[in-house]
């Protein structure tokens, strides 16, 4: 007998060799039907795996995060089986689950096209209906190599040969199909309920451009059809909301061949940018920040001193001035350090919070450039806080609250990750451990949940990253708080303590928007170009019905501009329906139609974005309401 502890803490004796599925059946028939996989002593296993030792067992269902990965990995095997049925000479490479679904790489004798995906889907549906059990077996290295050599699967043989000598080699069989795989998998193919093949792409074997180009088939699957439908809807919606498309249509920004990765902001885009900066300055002024501006180009020795030369040089641009080497700044922090050093500081002055809308340049490969989301020149809403060691928790808490205030303003929810020491880093392990614990303590004190992101800290310190979620449930890493003991040491920063001696301050690097460019791209897609009134480039458009109403329309526009409303008049000789449709295409929040009745009563007929005609308002009342809406953001 073996002793098994379950999730509720109960410990029960079972016969040696019992499976997780058999235990699930004893608990409840529903749990057995919903069991996807299991975790035994911390290791993911199939529900059909025999248990031969004492341990802790968890039955995983669709409610557990790992379950979807198992589900999608099994779907990838079903796709591979379907491909082998339709294309027996295709060679199998690898087929993992990924964040949004799964893929499998194949070496087809002749390349297939997107039109073939429907036939593969049909064959997958047949395999699912046939409900094959997925049966695991373990083989010796020699047995596994022979099996896949006999099947003509050269890529599988190469994978086996590269495994460590002591590795367990396992295969999974479903019907006639066998694949090399560590598992775990669903109990049977019939458990798959909703899937879709998405697209084809090229992929080098093992990601090596010197190796053969294979074809990668992407797909996705979900436990419920409703979840799949929602995912597919959001994919289509994401295409409609693509900020690059909307940027052109709404006249916000362009990226031209003359400057790949260097965006041009157009007049309407500058309005949005300026409004965001205005809001940013207001919240930072309230929070006690002092704004600075530092040069874009600084001498090489500064970057050597900061560590960027050793840790970040491949991402930097360089130039020579007066026979000396200079670099275009990829980050704003060295400039802020120099600003701090311009004065002798007392402990009474700290914390000092220096904020900067700083333009930085980073060398990105052309293949990763993407609209405003990945560029080579961008403005970070940076701030650097210099503080006493005993002020760390309070200052980190203050930044967390500021970030929360800003994200809430735009309707974003978010989750938090703590990123720890990377492989290439400055400073001692002790410094890193201390800084990491301080970040965790600040989050714990706020009662915030967070994940640990091992090895993803900045080269000078650990960080808290804020991943915001947009209206399509996509996440974007924007805000960050980095705690730094290294730069104050490297730059010999000091303050005069209460004892009259020099001491070393601690430093925080932080951003809220992340970069102005990327945040505008995210907002464009989040709102689908229908920006809230305070951000909208044109807040109201007046549409006179005929030429005799032009004077009233223009008079009204002047009144609105005097109180800061961004308004224009569409006085073209076009039909009313055409003008309204065009205003809707430009996503203008309010369209004000004026005719004889409106002129006579000093009123406007209001069409509100998303609602249509909401009736007549006195012009003065409408202006007052709109001014209040803008002021309150």
The catalytic site residues sit at 333, 362, 380, 382, 384, 463, 509
Return the structure tokens found at 511.
């951003």
70 neighbors 34 (Cβ within 8 angstroms): no
DSSP of 247-303, one letter per residue? HHHTT-EE--TTSTT-PEEPHHHHHHHHHHHHHHHHHHHHTT-EE----SEEEHHHH
Q: Return contacts of 548-557, CB within 8 angstroms, 24+ apart.
A: 549/594, 549/595, 549/596, 549/598, 549/599, 552/594, 552/598, 552/599, 553/594, 556/592, 556/594, 556/604, 556/619
394: enclosing H helix or E strand: helix 392-409
Distance CA 358, CA 291 (A): 10
Distance CA 72, CA 515 (A): 35
* Beta bridge pairs of residue 617: 604
User: Tokens 């004065």 map to which residue?
Assistant: 343
User: Tokens 């597919």 map to which residue?
Assistant: 232
Distance CA 445, CA 467 (A): 20
Q: Is 419 helix (H, G, I), strand (E, B) or coil?
A: strand
Residue 227 buriedness (CB in 10 A; 0-12 / 13-18 / 19+)? middle
6 neighbors 57 (Cβ within 8 angstroms): yes
Return the structure tokens found at 110.
């002749």
476 neighbors 470 (Cβ within 8 angstroms): yes
Strands (E), 161-205: 169-174, 177-180, 194-204
User: Tokens 């396992």 map to which residue?
Assistant: 170
């Amino acid at each position: 007998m073996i002793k098994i502890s379950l999730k509720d803490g109960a410990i029960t004796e079972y016969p040696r060799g019992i499976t997780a599925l058999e235990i699930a059946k004893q608990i409840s028939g529903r749990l057995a039907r919903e069991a996807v996989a299991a975790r035994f002593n911390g290791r993911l296993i199939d529900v059909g795996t025999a248990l031969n030792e004492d341990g802790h067992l968890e039955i995983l269902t669709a409610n557990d995060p790992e379950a979807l990965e198992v589900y999608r990995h099994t779907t990838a095997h079903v796709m591979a089986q379907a491909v082998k049925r339709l294309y027996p000479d295709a060679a199998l490479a690898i087929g993992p689950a990924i964040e949004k679904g799964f893929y499998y790489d194949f070496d087809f004798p002749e390349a297939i096209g997107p039109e073939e995906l429907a036939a593969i889907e049909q064959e997958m549906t047949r395999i699912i209906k046939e409900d094959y059990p997925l049966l695991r077996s373990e083989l010796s290295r020699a047995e596994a190599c022979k099996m896949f050599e006999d099947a003509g699967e050269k890529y599988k043989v190469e994978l086996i040969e590269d495994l460590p000598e002591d590795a367990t080699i396992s295969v999974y069989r479903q019907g006639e199909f066998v694949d090399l795989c560590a598992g775990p998998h669903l109990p049977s193919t019939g458990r798959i309920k909703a899937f879709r093949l998405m697209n084809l792409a090229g992929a080098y074997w093992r990601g090596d451009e010197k190796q053969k180009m294979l074809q990668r088939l992407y797909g996705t699957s979900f436990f419920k059809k409703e979840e799949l439908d929602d995912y597919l809807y959001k994919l289509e919606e994401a295409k409609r909301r693509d900020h690059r498309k909307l940027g052109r249509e709404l006249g916000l920004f362009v990226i031209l061949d003359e400057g790949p990765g260097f965006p041009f902001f157009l007049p309407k885009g500058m309005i949005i940018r300026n409004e965001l900066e205005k809001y940013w300055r207001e919240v930072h002024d309230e929070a006690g920040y002092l704004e600075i501006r530092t040069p874009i180009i600084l001498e090489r020795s500064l970057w050597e001193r900061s560590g960027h030369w050793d840790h970040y040089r491949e991402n930097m641009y360089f130039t020579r001035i007066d026979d000396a080497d200079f670099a275009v700044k990829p980050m704003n922090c060295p400039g802020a350090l120099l600003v701090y050093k311009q004065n002798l500081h007392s402990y009474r002055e700290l914390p000092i919070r220096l904020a900067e809308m700083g333009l930085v340049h980073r060398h990105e490969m052309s293949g990763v450039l993407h609209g405003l989301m990945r560029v080579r020149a961008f403005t970070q809403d940076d701030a650097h806080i210099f503080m006493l060691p005993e002020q760390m928790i309070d200052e980190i808490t203050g930044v967390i609250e500021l970030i929360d205030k800003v994200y809430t303003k735009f309707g974003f929810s978010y989750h938090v990750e703590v990123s720890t020491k990377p492989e290439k880093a400055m400073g001692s392990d002790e410094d890193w451990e201390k800084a990491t614990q301080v970040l965790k303590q600040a989050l714990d004190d706020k009662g915030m949940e967070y994940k640990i992101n091992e090895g993803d800290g900045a080269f000078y310190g650990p960080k808290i990253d804020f991943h915001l979620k947009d209206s399509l449930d996509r996440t974007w890493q924007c805000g960050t708080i980095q705690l730094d003991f290294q730069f104050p040491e490297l730059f010999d920063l000091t303050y005069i303590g209460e004892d009259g001696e020099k001491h070393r301050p601690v430093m925080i690097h932080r951003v809220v928007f992340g970069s102005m460019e990327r945040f505008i791209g995210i907002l464009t897609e989040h709102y689908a170009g229908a920006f809230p009134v305070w951000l909208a480039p044109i807040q109201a458009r007046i549409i006179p019905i005929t030429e005799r109403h032009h004077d009233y329309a223009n008079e009204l526009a002047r009144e609105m501009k005097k109180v800061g409303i961004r308004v224009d008049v569409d006085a073209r000789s076009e039909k009313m329906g055409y003008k309204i449709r065009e205003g809707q295409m430009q996503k203008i929040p309010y369209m004000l139609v004026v005719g004889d009745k409106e002129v006579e009563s000093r009123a406007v007929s209001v069409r509100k974005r998303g609602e249509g005609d909401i009736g007549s308002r006195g012009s003065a009342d409408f202006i007052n309401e709109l001014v209040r809406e803008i002021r309150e953001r």
